Amino acid sequence: MGRSSPLKDALFPVWGEEDEKVRDAVNHWIRTSGAYDTVLDTDRAMSGPADRDMPRPGYVFEDGLHPNGAGCRAIAAAPAPDAATRPRGHA
């Protein structure tokens, strides 16, 4: 399962404080619920260092939402969850 990437200042969808609260809550649930065997943390891979709610400069297209080549490489290079922590019998 992948997490929702940063959306602040994206042209579409329109970003707002309430939207960010929902995104943060969903990402927290995805990360901590145990509902998934593994989680690819695209949020952390794409977040900017100065503002974690914004995409890292140079990682998204002009729409501020979709990852460009550099963003896709950052997602691909994101640390893989440790296989030793997966429940027994899961791939």
Question: Domain ranges in the chain?
Answer: 17-85
The percent of residues above 70 in pLDDT, for the chain, comes to 78
Predicted TM-score of the model (pTM): 0.72
For residue 11, the 8-state DSSP code is T
pLDDT exceeds cutoff 70 at 33:
yes
Contact indicator for 10, 39 with CB cutoff of 8 Å: no
**CA 35, CA 61: separation in Å to the nearest integer?**
31
pLDDT at site 53: 86
Using alpha carbons, select from 51, 22, 18 the residue that is nearest to residue 59. Answer: 51
How would residue 84 be classed by pLDDT, with cut points 50, 70 and 90? Answer: very low
Q: Write the single-letter amino acid at 49.
A: P
H or E, element range at 29 = helix 17-32
Contact indicator for 7, 60 with CB cutoff of 8 Å: no
